[in-house]
Chain A
Amino acid sequence: MADILLASWFWESTALVVITAALCALVGSFILLRKMSLLADAVSHSVLPGVVGAYLLVGYHTVAFLLGAVMSGLLCVWCVGFLLRHTRLKEDAATGVVFSSLFALGIVSVSRLKTVDLDPACVVFGEAMAARPGSLWLAIGLLLLAAILIALFFKPLSLGSFDPLQARLQGLPERQVHTGLLVMLALTTVAALRAVGLVLAIAFLITPAATAFVLTRRLRTMLGCALGLAVIESVVGMVLAVWLNVSPSGLIAAVALLVLISVLTFQTLAQRVSGTKLKAAEFVQ
């Protein structure tokens, strides 16, 4: 145990997981506030055929992966919109139809390829321990990009999250921000796919942001809280996973859910003891 904690490979993979977690938590906070959690689930599943297609065309190349991912992620969103316009399917059913089809297409191609770089089980729960050095730089670059974009477009991002109508009235580019967020989501998924796998990517996109949403009342504090939670959860999960010799991605996802459930239970109990409903507390910009 102690010698593993001192090994450099452990800290390299922990750094990768932590940075991916931070990236997902930042993007995920806006996804949650804009009520796009379902779409996030769908888009992150749908990037798979794009990544595999890129692999078939040009081989193991990060830029191609990113382009392919963005294309198939946007294709998914477009298809869902098409189904909503032209059929009576409800949003959840339309989303389910599109992403499960695209994901199955990805899985069929991956299992057909039988290469060492992509493997169906790996896609689902990642290989944080065997990460390539390029993965870390990709995650760092995307984290910086996300931070810069959030700082630059903080106003349209936040106002649109709380009051889309007001944002449009003020002439803020709502549609572009929405699309930009979707593109960022697809890029984030590529980074996460390589580092931690699909399941943990979705867990990181949703769970820390949801926990922070319950704990805080302002957007800035929520972003900070989500970041902090994601980092702490991933470090704790990594150390525990090494100690117990189990899959780090799975354990971190489970830890994140445990934290959320504990926070909610604690809040509910506290409310019951004090006899008051704290629900009136509004979430503000």
Chain B
Amino acid sequence: MSQTATLIGIDGAFHEIALALRYDFLQQALAGTMLMGIACGLMGALLLLRRMALFGDAIGHAVLPGVMVGYLLGGKQFAWIFAGALLAGMVAASAVFWIPQASRIRPDAAMGAVFTGMFGLGIVLLSRYQSGSGGVSGLLFGHALGIGPSEVAWAFGNLLVVLLLLGVAWKPLKLMSFDPIQAEVTGAPTRALTHLLMLVLTATIVVSLPMVGAVLVAALLILPAAAASLVARHFGTLLLLAGIGGGVASLVGLWVSHAWGLASGASIVLSASALFVLMGCVRGARRHKASVRHG
């Protein structure tokens, strides 16, 4: 009896999903956010291992003036926005590295000063050239249900770039994550690779902006990776779990946002938080089992 009820329940849910999928915008949104989530999970895992988890937060805020300049110069063309954001991201990254070298200000304070200042500049441009708050909150908090085919294509291209980076530089990336000194000694191109990583990170953030927004994109970089790190024990497993986790959290979050009418970016982040808590429970249960077994 109860089994039948469950079956009907699941069937009902599937029916609802199938109905919803007939809308083009939802298909696009689901495809785009999933591709974005996987890319963010993978990049986040690389950042986490190098103790740069909050770097995504700084870059995510700091690209805003670049996005706005690209938007104003190129008139809504994504390539221009992308170029502007890359430039701003690189400027911010250089400033964050330079300030602690030039003074006794610590890296965390340098990061805070740079991201707030550059984000402020972005807000200034936004407030000057864009009337009405719709566009503003779209760029700041994301509007995943509003994306079009071009955003999906960009997210797909970006994921390919991330996978390419991993495929080509798997070994040095792994070595750099666990033993930077050893990596340097063995002659891996660590500097070039760090720059490349920053470049791909900025690209991933820019592609994510229309879906989760500048304010929340950092969360999607940190949460799936941190959740995966609770259970994974190897480099490969960590990346795999973080990628899958990012994708799943994005899908679930988007679904929740669509079904309950919540803000899409924040819903995606909250499902990633739920994933983190879930992985924490898995880890706790595993530890409990181990301690019981060992008496």
Contact = CB atoms under 8 A, between A and B. Distances in A.
A108 B117 contact: no
A30 interface: no
Interface residues of B, number: 60
B204 interface: no
B218 A247 contact: no
Interface string B95-124: 100110011111011101110111111111
A209 to B, nearest CB: 8
Contact of B219 (A101, A200, A246, A247): A101
A20 to B, nearest CB: 14
B283 A210 contact: no
Contact of B53 (A32, A92, A207): A92
A37 B229 contact: no
Contacts of A65: none
B138 to A, nearest CB: 10
Contacts, number: 201
Nearest to B52: A92
**Most chain B C-beta atoms within 10 Å of own C-beta, residue among A35, A87, A93, A210:** A93
Contacts of B126: 247, 250
Contact of A213 (B104, B141, B230): B104
Interface string B230-246: 10000000000000000
A42 B294 CA distance: 39
Interface in B190-246: 215-216, 218-219, 222-223, 225-226, 229-230
Interface string A79-110: 00000000111101111110011011101100
A279 B102 CA distance: 9
Contacts of A107: 141, 215-216, 263, 265-266
Interface in A229-266: 241, 244-247, 249-254, 256-258, 260-261, 264
A267 B266 CA distance: 42
Contacts of A90: 51, 53
Which secondary structure dominates where chain A touches chain B?
A: helix
A246 B127 contact: yes
Given A101-B269, A104-B216, A107-B216, A250 B124 contact: yes
A124 interface: yes
A40 interface: yes
A19 to B, nearest CB: 19
A121 interface: yes
Contact of A108 (B98, B123, B133, B270): B270
A125 interface: yes
Contacts of B117: 203, 207, 253-254, 256-258, 260
Contacts of B61: 199
Contact of A121 (B108, B118, B137, B276): B137
A49 B73 CA distance: 38
A247 B124 contact: yes
A206 B267 CA distance: 30
CB-based closest 10 A-B pairs:
A257-B117, A253-B120, A250-B123, A100-B219, A203-B116, A104-B269, A247-B127, A101-B273, A111-B263, A250-B120
Interface of A: 32, 35, 37-38, 40-41, 87-90, 92-97, 100-101, 103-105, 107-108, 111-112, 119-121, 124-125, 199-200, 202-203, 205-207, 210, 213-214, 241, 244-247, 249-254, 256-258, 260-261, 264, 267-268, 279, 283
Given A90-B53, A101-B273, 9 more contacts: A100-B273, A104-B266, A104-B269, A111-B263, A200-B116, A202-B112, A206-B113, A260-B113, A283-B104
